[in-house]
Amino acid sequence: MSSTIRHVMIRGRVQGVGYRAWVAMTAQAKGLEGWVRNRRDGSVEATFAGEDGVVADMISACHRGPSVARVDAVVVEEAGADLLTQRNAGERFSILPTV
């Protein structure tokens, strides 16, 4: 088992439908570290860190999202640990303010 960090951009009808809260709840349930936030362009951005397979499962789940969301695209990039420093102090997974 090895650890991985991925930066993910999700586009579609993903704001105003509980997508951020769904990401945070799902990621925490899977034991992942990271964060999620809305972007002013209407997309959702997230960083996931954890075991390879668990991160891959989370990214697959992002293609579906909560039932009222419509996901058009999920763009995944490798990321470094520096992105994890954006989390709120003391939290394993954070919901961050919109940028």
Q: List the catalytic residues.
A: 20, 38
Measured CA distances, 52 to 2, 31, 55, 61, 74 (Å)? 6, 12, 5, 14, 17
